[in-house]
Amino acid sequence: MPGLTHGRSRCAIRAGTGRRGFTLVELCVVVLLIVTLTAVAAPSFAGFWQASQARNCAWQVAALAHRARDYAISRAVRVALQYDETQGRFLLTAEVENASDPADFQQLQLAGAQPVTIPDAVTNVAVTVENGQAGPDLPIVFFPDGQALAAHILLTGSQGAWSVNVVPLTGQAKVVEGDAESQ
């Protein structure tokens, strides 16, 4: 009987040993599926990222315009939102208090008023101020009474366009997807 017991234990060992891993073919198929899905999805993720950067930039410019309006009202000075084309950024400048020259403006160094740098996803920036005058050197001026010059900022990228519109009577800035001026 010792042989019979020995045979049973062998069977017990074989029966308890199951397949505990993946074959090389199964692993290759899974890797191939992952690579294929990544190749299909990657372009759409890149487009989503670029659109997100451009949209975020438009909202940051609008926030800078809100900050300009608030600062102009609280300090009773004129504040300008300007696009610096050479450095590719929007920044705030304010009228120097008690200055002898009324056109004397200097860059604001405040929390919430940091310059907004245009991301690579934005390929074109167009600034139009009152009466259709266009150009990067034209400032959008916010006055102490809360009003501003009417302005339209168009940020265009490969994934679409976003507009920042400044309403003259209230000085409020609004972000709209697309070119709001042409609609």
> What is the residue-wise DSSP string for 50-118?
HHHHHHHHHHHHHHHHHHHHHHHHHHTS-EEEEEETTTTEEEEEEEPTT-SSTT-EEE---TT---EEP
Q: How many helices (H) and strands (E) are present in the chain, helices listed first?
A: 2, 10
- Which of 42-56, 63-77, 142-156 has the least mean pLDDT? 42-56
In a domain, 182, yes or no: no
State percent of the chain over pLDDT 90.
37
DSSP letter at 154 equals E
CATH code of the domain in which 159 resides: 3.55.40.10
User: Quick check: 173 pLDDT over 70?
Assistant: yes
Judge residue 142's burial from the number of C-beta atoms within 10 Å of its C-beta, 0-12 exposed, 13-18 middle, 19 or more buried: buried
Question: Per residue in 116-149, pLDDT tens?
Answer: 999 988 889 999 898 777 776 788 999 999 999 9
Residue 148 lies in domain: 47-177
pTM of the model as a whole:
0.71
pLDDT averaged over every residue in the chain:
82
In a domain, 151, yes or no: yes
In a domain, 173, yes or no: yes
In a domain, 18, yes or no: no
User: Quick check: 102 pLDDT over 80?
Assistant: no
The one-letter amino acid code at 150 reads A
In a domain, 57, yes or no: yes
User: Quick check: 60 pLDDT over 90?
Assistant: yes
User: Quick check: 11 pLDDT over 60?
Assistant: no
In a domain, 14, yes or no: no
In a domain, 90, yes or no: yes
Question: Domain count of the chain?
Answer: 1
User: Token pair of 49, please?
Assistant: 């990222």
In a domain, 24, yes or no: no
User: Which of these, 127, 130, 178, 136, lies nearest to 157 by C-alpha position?
Assistant: 178
Task: State the average pLDDT over residues 3-15.
Answer: 51
Neighbours of 121 (CB within 10 A): 20
Identify the sign of the CA torsion 170, 171, 177, 182: positive
